[in-house]
Structure 1
Amino acid sequence: MLSIGEFSKICGVSAKTLRYYDEIGLIHPDEINGDNGYRYYSIGQLEKMLWINRLKAYQFSLEEIGAILDWEQDHFEANIYNALNRKRRGLQEKLDAAAYTLNQISLDISNVEKGIPIMSYLQQIEVQLVETVPMNVLSIRLKLSSDHYAEGYGAYFSRLYEKIATEQLTLRGSPMTIYHSPEYNPAGNDTEFAIPVEEAVTGTRDLPGGLCAKSVLKGSYTQLTSVYAKLSEWIDREGYVLLKSPYERYVSDPHYTLPEDRITEVYFPVKKK
């Protein structure tokens, strides 16, 4: 048996953290002395603690780690393989976004050196008035916080594509995200993930067509706020008002496209004042 101090030293985790892990049920001492309350861990628990450390280093939450450690051994390898792949995709997206941001900062610095106003790029965002056609969409609508957008997009679109494959539905367009919240709320926004399909089945609804102000972004999703700002400015200047929830249509698949090459169409349903 190892004392909590010995176990702490071997695993590189403080005794305070080990006590907290005990409180939340992540890893319990193998034995607690009833007389003095001293905690002891078995040699066999070292591997479990190494798992916890490893998964923490991979940026899994403690809640996620607890769920992983509770998986049945018969399916553990398959489940951990899938979980690691999902985490790798998420981390790669963050790395790509960071690389894109670094490149944008370098471009801004270069423009300042040349005397070019940084915000002049807004003048290059084009807006056009288009008439969209009605669509039948398979969708999932829920409250989603900003911290979970990236993971949520993949998870919920994957669920929709699974339903399309299972029920042999006919695709009629690119995936879309519709934003129903009247204002931005970091704690959670009314978000609908939708994919146009031919058949009307459980989970589908009609998305009306109509007049829209449209802009196309080629680049990282971090630039979408600039497109939204440009569309809002254009709508106000041209004498229109927003009629329904704005939505984005993803022409390129983010899993197979670099951030700088992604193409996103943004639609603002409008009417004349």
Structure 2
Amino acid sequence: MGEELYSIGKVEEICKITKKALRYYDKMGILSPDKVADESGYRYYSKKNLLSVPVIKYYKQSGFKLEEMRSFLKGTTYEFVDKSFRNKIDELKELEREINLKIRSIKDWHDLIIEAQMVLENNICDVTIKYIDNRNLIFLDQDFKYDYMDSIINIEFNNYIDRIDNAITGPVIIRFPSFEDKINGKCTRVTIMQETILRCREEECIQFGGWIAASCYHIGTHETIDETYKKIKEWTKKHGYICSDESYERYVTDYWTTKNTDKFVTEIFIKISRKNK
């Protein structure tokens, strides 16, 4: 009595795998039927052959392509399997790195959108005192021509990031050496800064934070941002603080996120100290 054979429909039912997949596996030389009826062309599989299906599913779960499975299923040496598995582990680690980078990028961007929504919904535009955490940012010194879109979506800066094989995340921050010159239209040079996902070399970084600042959100177009600077100046004078020369603009939402300039949210920082009494 010969071994029991199962029709392709029965294999589909038993192994929870579609007829289409079984036909494709046959075409790729991964799993072929034990018998094909001459007249009808029906495919039949032995129980031993069916046991290849869980193995195929496990290889697929592990990230192997059908072409890569062929040698394993036909039988090969441990040395070949060892090398193939090591290569697959390296490949998946690189894929994991890329996926984690994408997750970090989109999460940080999403956090900025939530921050902007909170600022807009609650009309948060009062001056506050804030400690700015100390951290290192990638930077690039550039000419400034009061073209905010060109500075924030910055081709030169992005090309620089590509050249050093890094990736950026979070808000663009621009440092102005003198906020007085900036609001008077006399600023010609700025420093563009942003956080990196990958570690960067010491010479590529600039220190940001580690000081107390007067902080205020500016809602709306960048063309009216001077009004918020004047608000900060008046507030610090009234409360007995001295402003340093430099200022920072942190672009929470801008041209990267929306074309509606009325929905732009920018946070301004100016370093401050107490007046001597």
Higher radius of gyration, 1 or 2: 2
TM-score by length of 1: 0.48
